[in-house]
Amino acid sequence: MLPQTVVAESPSPFSCAEVLSQPSPATTQEWLVMSMQAGHCVDFQARAVSIDALGVRTLALSHRIRDGVRQQVVQHLDGPSINVERRSIAGFFAWFPSEAPESESSPTRWAAQVSEYYEISQQDDTRVAERDAVALQFSPLDNQRYYHAWWIDKETGLLLKQVISDAQGRVLETFQVTQLHSPSLYGGDVARGAEVEMADHPWQVGWLPEGFVEQPSEQGQQQDGQRVYSDGMAAISVFVEPLEQRRLEERVHRLGVSTAVVSQVVIDGQDWQLIVIGELPLEPLQRIANSITFE
């Protein structure tokens, strides 16, 4: 079957100039919307530190928007020389179905989605990297997710710090900007209405924690054998591919805050490798892997 075409946004663009010209957010959802928009509208350079089970890494970050494309570069400043670059469509937000009017923005739908599955509390007067910030605490309403905390820059809406913890209060990952250099607003419009694809596969995921929705891929980003799901805060990637040369050990792999569940099955004489990776506790990831069925 041919991939389905899904329009994730309304067809009209929005102006990045509107992001910082709006009144200061008054609610947790408004802070979430501002933060999402800032990630698509603010150019900046930064230094940051990331701490998880894999160790401590210092990072140099670069974020630019040019001709409707986000250019994100992460450079590791210690250990092996690693540079990671990602390009994506500016204005391509997480996609969630909604019965609201079509004019409702995708960041607004995303913020509503997060609020439905997490209790959000707010602390107004905090500081990160010598910048005034608002702290948001996200407490899941079930035992299928982790706890999240965000610190959002009051001036720009950029995410300055993120902490992920488990139900016992153990910190699993900390990401923090230590220096933010020259944040500036992109001067153009960010186009919405880009067509995105939700490809068909000969397999299905039979169970997901409530609130997780399959995410369409940007044009040119579709990968065979992969589905991605999100509840607005956490992401799950499911890979199903014929088992040929790339064989991973059939077990649970710890990847920092993420966990990968690897298993193999035989369908009609063909060996398949199933991989479920997500920022979730182990039990729901194993249940997802066990729910995969073939048509």
Q: Dihedral through CA 64, CA 66, CA 71, CA 76, nearest 10?
A: -40
- Retrieve residue 10's tokens: 């309304």
Contacts of residue 220, defined as CB under 8 A and 6 or more positions apart, other chains included, come to none
Q: What is the pLDDT of residues 82-101, one digit of tens each?
A: 999 998 877 766 777 766 55
Q: Mean pLDDT of successive 10-residue segments in the chain (295 residues)?
A: 34 66 89 91 96 92 89 93 87 68 67 95 94 98 97 96 96 97 85 59 93 77 79 94 77 90 88 94 96 91
Report if pTM > 0.85: yes
Give the CA distances from residue 219 to residues 1, 41, 93, in Å, rounded to whole numbers and listed in that order: 17, 20, 13
